Structure formats: structure tokens, C-alpha cells
Structure 1
């Protein structure tokens, strides 16, 4: 169901009388990425999946110059203004945007956010040197995205260590599914939401309950989650046999962990 007044495209399913759940996908994805868990989540929630700027049916939405986190939060707030209260789930980039949205709501409307769950999402870098290195690395990826055919870029993207659990067949499926993306539409969001621009939001886990789900085979994010949980009140769970994209690679285990209270 489309909302013509929302700046970002929304995809809805599930009984509208159920508790609302807002879902934010990762970079290169769309609201359709939640399909592997849509039926299961739709039995428990009224699901509202957002197409982030430059993605899916929000490809035409343009962002301001970097950093773009504040602009993204403004767009999300405008798109979700009809929801007085909601649960929030974000994957990867969507998780990082969910953290910024939660930070905003915590300071202004804390009663609106019923829960926050992150899937394979980074809370932010603390070392200025690492932040600068990340900005430089993302600038290289960005230029590669603009200069190369999309399929060539995607093949390199999905060979990064964080996606090491992908089989050749699964990698080919991901490339085929993402090859229709317009790099020009993705450009501003990718640079504007670089981890190098992101605030360090680890401390937010002491101000509000936050759950982080990571995959056993995604050692980078699982180790990061363990360190984060050791220093804050973060609730962290590692999903056995899961990789970076849990809701696609281990949907049943993901739903079970997400719905566990």
C-alpha cells in the first residue's frame, strides 16, 4: 500500500491492528528484501518496510551533501508521521540509520519507539584515524560504482570479507537482484552515510534497550557486538550458522531470535 504523501516509498503487510514494525533495509537493497521473513513477521506485526533514498521506489529521492544522517532521519520521520508508536528493525546500513533515528526519538519523543533491533549494524568508529580511512575507502568504492558496469561493481562488493559466507550461487543471485540499481541514485546516500561520517552511538545502549543480532559466520560483526555488549547494556545474540544477512540466509532462526522476548 503506497502513501503518496510520504517522501519515502513504503511497503505494508500484516493486520493493521497488530503492533507496527518499521523495517529498514541495507545498502543496494529495497523493501522487497524482507520477503524471506515477510509472512512470519506479518503474523505478529503490521509491517512497514521503507525504501531508503536512492533505492527501490525511492530512487528519485535526493539527499543533501554529506553527512546525510540528519537528512535521512528527517525523511524517515516525515514518512512515519502517522505512526504514534512503532518497533524498529534495521539491517546493516538500515541499522545505522535506525540508530540515528532512535537517538533523535530518545531526545524528543521517547514514547514513540517501542523497541530497537539491529541486524549486523555498526554503532560507529571511535578512532579519528579509522574514520578518515573509512572515508577514503568509501570514496574509492563510490568511484568504482560510478565508473564500472554495475555487475562488475557488485561482483567485487560481494567478495568483501563480510560476505564470505555467500556461495557462488548465492553471490550470483545477489548480483542479479541488485544489477538494476542506478549508481547515480545511490551516490549521495552511500557517501553521505559513510561509517566515517557516523557518530559513535555505542552509548545509546545505556539510554534505551537495544538488541543486536549477528551471524556466527560474520566474525567481524559478532566480535564487534561482543565488545559493544561488554561495555554497555546492549543485548547481543549470535545466530548459529548465520552470516551477515541473517534474514535472507537464515530466515527461520532470524525470526525466532527477533520475536523472542
Structure 2
């Protein structure tokens, strides 16, 4: 099993998890800002890929095990079926996430986010040339001492064109560099580079033509190579379709190169959160365990009921016709959350209240995420509380008593 951090969502029902994968030379600390932003939506599992972080010296990982195989085995143990997975990977982690997505059974895949990752090379000659370059660089890394490794990062690696030219001026560059060199052994990075070379990666372009789940691809506008990938994906993603219906969505972030997790940490987190909110159901408040036969919780007085449970139930309903808005694209569906309160009156009769929140984009100030978060807070406080009848029934026309 790979070294990992498994952060559990307080209201999660364990039916889904978000998997976060770092890039070459990094570790799971690189994706911590993403975990903090996405942690309210589902469990988050951050992995150290083979040759990196705490996985670099784990004796249980065979030297020949690919990152895809190691990650798949780890996820099967941490989050077994039928739980659904949203895979988020940066650079090398994006390639690993893409290959994982292609190997997962379709019901297991909730979505895929690729941050500046390569779908692979179509041409066999290009793959051979890339593998030769990576093997040669791996040989250089194996010969480096830690001080030489630090010098190589500064003078060569982070001066490459894909970083955009201003990376070393970023205020957090030195902190990132320290993470790259802190306890790192160049030979471990060399093994990873050679094993996970794009030259060994099968082309995933055919899979991206008809993915079984939504895909989001993000690149920095100063990262020329990956902007070309974004352009190619955009051309085949059905640009005539509304964004929410496209299988592959593309975002290019201004004033950023390849180091998206450093130069554009906040925008990347916001984009990933919006995407995850669409492909994952809102976490539900767990229902209380069923009462034993013959046991009943009585009301504490005739003026109200004991609320045995309060649950959130997400819903999506397609509209019979698109609803045009003054700003933005027309609305084709209504998405919201039901609040179901169930309790028992003093005479033993069941009381059920049903309410809903369904903010309409462009009309309401709250987003669905914000409204659902408020309801989760309310639901937690309702469970076990003594409620007046009017509150228990939520005063709605669909509320039922009896």
C-alpha cells in the first residue's frame, strides 16, 4: 500500500472519495490546498506515488511496480467498491489518474480532473524518442548527490520553457524546492522517471473520445505544450453542447505555466470544487440506526415531537424546456436538496416533514453548495431535538402527519 493521507468528510456516507495525485518530484503535501477545498464534499485520499514522499522507502512496494498498479491496489483497500472515485491528478499524477480512470469499471468512476497531464503520444517513434530522453535523464539523476540535485533543480529543471519563465520569482518557490530536496534521494526519482515515462504510457486519446464519466482538463496559458493538449481536447468535446453536457471540459488559466498547484493554487481549487460539486452527490447526513423491535422513543410532551432523524436527499430534475436567463446559458435542469425530518408524536403517530432548497443560478445569491452546507448544519441540530409540530412538519404543503 502506498503512503497516504485519508481525510474523512464529517458528513460523508462513504459512497464516494476524491483521490489526489501529485506530480513528478512532489509528494502528497503538494495537493494539500486541494484537499482543504474539496474535503467538505467527500473523503479525500492523497497518495505518495512510488519513488516519492513516504512511499520512496516503503519495502512493501516492489521496484518494478508501476504507479498505476500501486495506486489501484491502495484504493481498492482504502475505498473498495461500490464507492465511486473522483480522480484528480497533476502532471505525472494526471497521467496516472487518466490511466486509472481507463482501468476502473465505469460504475466506479465519478469523474476525472487532469491538471497539465499528458494523455500520451499517438506516434510510436515519438514514444521511443521520449523514452530515450527520460532514460538518459534518469541515468544523470542516479549519479547525483543531494547537493548536485538541488543545483540541477535550480539551474536546469525549473528553468525549462514549460514553467513559463517566472516560476523562480514566485514567493513560494523556495518552500516548494525545500520539499523537493528534503530527504530526497535522486535515485528514487530516477527510478520513477524511467518507469513512468510518457514513452511507456499507452495513448489514452481514444479513451478520451468517449469517457464514461465527465472529464475536466486544466492547463496554464504559458505552458505551450499542454495548451496544445487543451486545444485538441476542446476541438473534440462538442463545443456546440452546453458546458454542463460536455463529456470533456477544458479550462486554460491566465498568468500560469506548468506549476499550476503553485502559481494558480486558488483558481485550480475553485475549478476543481465546482466540477466535483457537479459530479458527486452532496454528502448525506447519516440516518440513525434502526430502533429495535418493540422499542419506541416517546415524545416529551403534547406540544411537539421527538425528531428521530433528519436527512438530506439531493435531487436533479430535467426541465421540459430550457429556461432562458438574462445572464449566462439557459437552465436545463433544477438541482437541489430535500430535507426530510421524521419523528414521533406523544400518541405514537409518525410525523414527517419535507422541505427543499433549490437555488436558481442568476436569481438567488446562494449557490447550491452553500445552501446544502447550511442545511447540513440544521440537520445535525435537529436530530434528537424536541420540535414544535409546525417546525417538524416544516409548514409545507407536502408535509404529512399520520
TM-score (norm 2): 0.58
- Show CA shifts across 1:157-200 (max 9, x none): 11111112403355444332211311222232210110111111
- Show CA shifts across 1:98-155 (max 9, x none): 11111111xxx21111111100000001122211211121122212212232112222
Counterpart in the other structure of 1:55: 52
Question: 3-state DSSP class of the match of 1:86?
Answer: strand
1:1-261 matches, within 5 Å, as 7-18=1-12, 19-61=16-58, 62-65=61-64, 71-81=66-76, 82-83=78-79, 84-105=83-104, 109-148=105-144, 149-155=148-154, 156-164=156-164, 165-168=166-169, 170-180=172-182, 181-205=184-208, 206-208=210-212, 209-231=214-236, 234-260=248-274, 261=278
Aligned mates of 1:161, 1:252 — CA distance in 2: 23
- Using CA pairs under 8 Å that are at least 6 residues apart, name the structure with larger relative contact order, 1 or 2: 1
Contact 2:10 2:40 in 1 (8 A): no
Aligned mates of 1:98, 1:248 — CA distance in 2: 20
Aligned mates of 1:9, 1:153 — CA distance in 2: 27
- Number of residues of Structure 1 aligned to a counterpart in Structure 2: 248
Aligned mates of 1:207, 1:134 — CA distance in 2: 26
- Show CA shifts across 1:68-117 (max 9, x none): 6xx33322122112322221101000010111111111xxx211111111
Aligned mates of 1:219, 1:168 — CA distance in 2: 20
Shift of 1:38: 3.2
Contact 2:2 2:49 in 1 (8 A): yes
Q: Which has the higher helix share?
A: 1
Q: Structure 1 unaligned segments of length 5 or more: list them.
A: 1-6
Shift of 1:16: 5.0
Computed over aligned residues only, the root mean square deviation of the Cα atoms, in angstroms, reads: 2.0
Higher-Rg structure is: 2
Q: Which has the higher strand share?
A: 2
Aligned mates of 1:176, 1:64 — CA distance in 2: 25
Question: 3-state DSSP class of the match of 1:203?
Answer: helix
